[in-house]
Amino acid sequence: MSSIEAHASPPGVRARRLSMVVVLMAAAIAMALGRDMLPASLMRPPDWMILPLADWINAFFDFLRDDLGLLAVTRSVAGGVEALLDVTANLLYGKNRWPWLGPIPWSVIAVTAAVIGYALGGAKLAFLACGTFLWIALMGQWTWAMETLSVIVVAAPVSVLLGLLVGVAAWRSRRLAALLNPILNIAQSLPHFAYMIPVVVFIGVGPKAGAIVTIIFSVPPMIRMTLLGLQKVPDEVVESGKMCGATGWQLLLRTRLPTARTDILIGVNQVIMQCLAMVVLASFIGMPGLGQKLLQLLQALRIGQSVEIGLTIVLLAITLDRFTRAWALRQPVHVPRVMPWHERFRLPLIWLGLVTVAAGLSQVFPLLAEIGRVQGFSFGAAIDAVMDRVIVAIYPVTDWLHWFLIVWVFIPVRDAFLWMPFAAVLSLLAAVGYAVGGRRSALICVAFFGYIAISGWWDRTMITAYTVVVSVAIAAVFAFPTAIWATGNAVRSRRVLLVCDTVQTFPSFIYLIPMIMLFGANDVAVVGAVVLFAAVPLIRYTIEGIRGVPVALVEAAGMSGATRRQIRRHVLWPVALPTIMVGVNQAVMFSLFMVIIAAFIGTQDLGQEMQRALSSADVGKGLVLGLAVATIGLMVDHLIMKWASSVRPAN
């Protein structure tokens, strides 16, 4: 719609818009150049402007907790979750709780995973699943991995169920959907830490807090996908249901939900990936498992073992992703009518056989039941030795890079960001908003950054913004040539896309490991991790954008006598640009999240403050900071989406 309006807007409107842009731009430049003459209240938000938002939020939460007695409610919910966690903890790693059956021997779990993998995606997935659990067991990480999995096994189903219920409710009531949409937008741009602080206040720390924060964090995509899936059910299928005489409930349960199966299962996939990402980070609030180990090892700079744990997390991520995706995309296949029962139940029987064998053998050979840390085949020490050599060998390069980036890139850019008067920044953003989407967008930009001004965290936000800008810029320098190279032929682009898909499933934490390995724990490592993380969506959407250009367009340009270069410049890039900008949008979002997570290495931005808020359980401060991060993300999202929809040809 907006594109139609943009194209149809009379020249007068466009001229007025252009003049507003010029005026605002000029104001921004004038304020920046004449900063010495500016009153202090335009340099930085003056004290009277800064609202005690954190105190208000804290007062509100105190009211909820103490006066409304919400604490009792949350504690009892937590009690329920804990009961479930105890069951999985007992089964998976033998915690001393009901049903006192566990721990299940690792060989049994590995075999089970292999059979499920085979059922979902054939031999390839079976090998992947079996290999993952074999690796975990052999590396002596079994207990940690099971601590992590025991939480996912509880959190993911609860989250899926909640998401389904809310999604269906939102689908039934347009009002609720309209109310939920902005909430989900904010929720999906709040950094992980912002979720943890209220949970610490209401639940405490430990596995149950980890489980609950994981549930809350992973619900939004499920709600989205359920709603989307239900909306996408073809009219004809619904009409055919009605004409068959289905009542309202029959339509929902037997027609709509099963037809939306694929989208709902993709929601399940997203829930599980979000769970894994959160459960690893929940180590910050005392959640034991792989994440906590990784955090400790990274802080102690034990690179070799961190790499091992990192690999475990990566393998788990790939396995869980491939499993759920195969499940989502699987089409039902008919089985011949007459079939002996052992044919029909072939896989369950094989599973039963294998499990019996594995369980029996593990009675005889304890090594098949449990491999302790000591017996593990960890080769962390070897990695350390090799890496030490490598690091020494490339030290001149990394050291120079470190020096160059800090002195010539980071410090100048950061200083430039901090040098800008805040009024000039607001004016500049208003100009950009005007240029992209007229007055409404300008107001949105000013409102978002105005919030940051009154929140009292201007300088910290500018440091975060600078880190994101620098990182995305560096990422773009690598990503675009890579993407162009990849689009050279179909096989190559498919392979690069596969790599991007796989890498994108990794929890963000993982990206820090190689960077800390190379640069040590400092700013450069943080930016390096953010660059890696941001490059993935850039490469991916650029390839998808360029390969998505209709062949007929390229052929038509070729027949018009365009050279390869001309085709690229006049056809491929302009048509692919909206898609590429979606990638830029995601890159910004990803880098924001990553910058905040990397705070524990020691940065000076919002993330650092959030960590402090977390350790002092300061809900107000945590939410104020979280919203500051979210507003940056939402503003960029608004600008890019608005722009992309205005250049996309109206069809």
Partner 1 sequence: MIAQHPVISCQNVWKLFGSAPGEYLSDSQEAPDLETIHAAGYVAAVRDVTLEVYQGEILVIMGLSGSGKSTLLRCMSRLLDISSGTIVVDGQDIAALSERALIELRRTKMGMVFQNFGLLPHRTVLGNVSFPLEMRGQDRHARRDRELEVIELVGLTGREDHFPHELSGGQQQRVGIARSLAIEPDIWFLDEPFSSLDPLIRREMQEEFLRLQGGLGKTIVFITHDFDEALRLADRIAIMKDGVVVQCDTPEKVVLEPATPYVAKFTENIDKARVVRAGGMALRETEATAPRGDAVSAQSTLHELARTLVDDDRDSLPVEGADGKIIGMLDRQDALDLVVGTRT
Q: Are 449 and 429 in contact (CB under 8 A)?
A: yes
Asked whether 90 and 207 are in contact (CB, 8 A), the reply is no
The CA-CA-CA angle for residues 321, 629, 428, to 5°, reads 125
Measured from the CB atom, is 248 or 561 closer to partner 1? 248
Residue 560 binding partner 1, by CB under 8 A? no
Choosing from 141, 159, 214, 259, the residue that interacts with partner 1 (CB under 8 A) is 259
Among 52, 69, 122, 258, interactor with partner 1 by CB under 8 A: 258
Binding-site residue total for partner 1 (CB under 8 A)?
Answer: 25
Cα-based angle 299, 302, 308 (whole degrees, multiple of 5): 110
What end-to-end distance do the CA atoms of the chain give, in Å? 10
Alpha carbon distance 203, 319 (integer Å): 31
State the minimum distance, in angstroms, from the CB of residue 244 to partner 1.
4
240 touches partner 1 by CB under 8 A: yes
Give the pair of three-digit tokens for residue 48. Answer: 């009277």
- For the bound state, the minimum distance from the C-beta of residue 231 to partner 1, rounded and expressed in Å, comes to 16
CB of 245 to partner 1, least distance (A): 3
CA atoms within 13 A on the CB side of 292: 18
Q: Which of 246, 443, 499, 521 binds partner 1 (CB under 8 A)?
A: 246
Q: How many CB atoms lie within 10 A of CB 513?
A: 22
Tokens of 455: 């929140």
Residues between 337 and 356 that touch partner 1 (CB under 8 A): 337
Nearest approach in angstroms of CB 342 to partner 1 is 19
Shortest distance, position 253 Cβ to partner 1, whole Å: 12
**Residue from 17, 254, 612, 648 binding partner 1 (CB under 8 A):** 254
Site track for partner 1 across 304-333, x = CB under 8 A: ---------------------------xxx
Q: Which is nearer to partner 1, 268 or 294 (CB)?
A: 268
- Give the residue from 528, 525, 510 showing the smallest Cα distance to 308: 510
Beta carbon nearer to partner 1, 336 or 649: 336
Q: Residue 167 in contact with residue 192, Cβ under 8 Å?
A: no
Sign, CA dihedral 456-458-463-464, equals positive
**Residue 39, interface with partner 1 (CB under 8 A)?**
no
Nearer to partner 1 (CB atom), residue 244 or residue 477: 244
Please report whether residue 645 would count as binding partner 1 according to CB under 8 A: no
Q: Give me 50's structure tokens.
A: 């800064």
Owner of token pair 């005489």: 245
| Stretch 218-237 residues interacting with partner 1 (CB under 8 A) | 234, 236-237
Q: Which tokens belong to 341? A: 């029962």
Is residue 335 near partner 1 by the rule CB under 8 A? yes
* Chosen residue from 245, 396, 488, 561 binding partner 1 by CB under 8 A: 245
Least distance (Å) between residue 335 CB and partner 1: 7
Residue 330 burial class via C-beta count within 10 angstroms: exposed 0-12, middle 13-18, buried 19 and up: middle
CA 246 to mean position of chain CA atoms: 40
* CA 461 to chain CA mean position, Å: 21
Minimum distance from residue 229 beta carbon to partner 1 (Å): 12
Contact between 261 and partner 1 per CB under 8 A: yes
Instruction: Give the Cα separation of 636 and 633 in Å (integer).
Output: 5
Give every CB contact of residue 179 below 8 A, 6+ residues apart in sequence.
Answer: none
What track of x and - describes contact with partner 1 for positions 403 through 442 (by CB under 8 A)? Answer: ----------------------------------------
Measured from the CB of residue 165, what is the shortest distance to partner 1 in angstroms? 21
| Cβ-based nearer residue to partner 1, 337 or 564 | 337
240 versus 566: smaller Cβ distance to partner 1: 240
Distance in Å, CB of 285 to partner 1, minimum: 41
Cis peptide before 198 (omega within 30 of 0): no
The answer to whether 363 and 355 have CB atoms below 8 angstroms apart is: no
Among residues 255, 362, 461, 487, the one that binds partner 1 under rule CB under 8 A? 255
Interaction site with partner 1 (CB under 8 A) = 234, 236-237, 239-247, 250, 254-255, 258-259, 261, 331-337
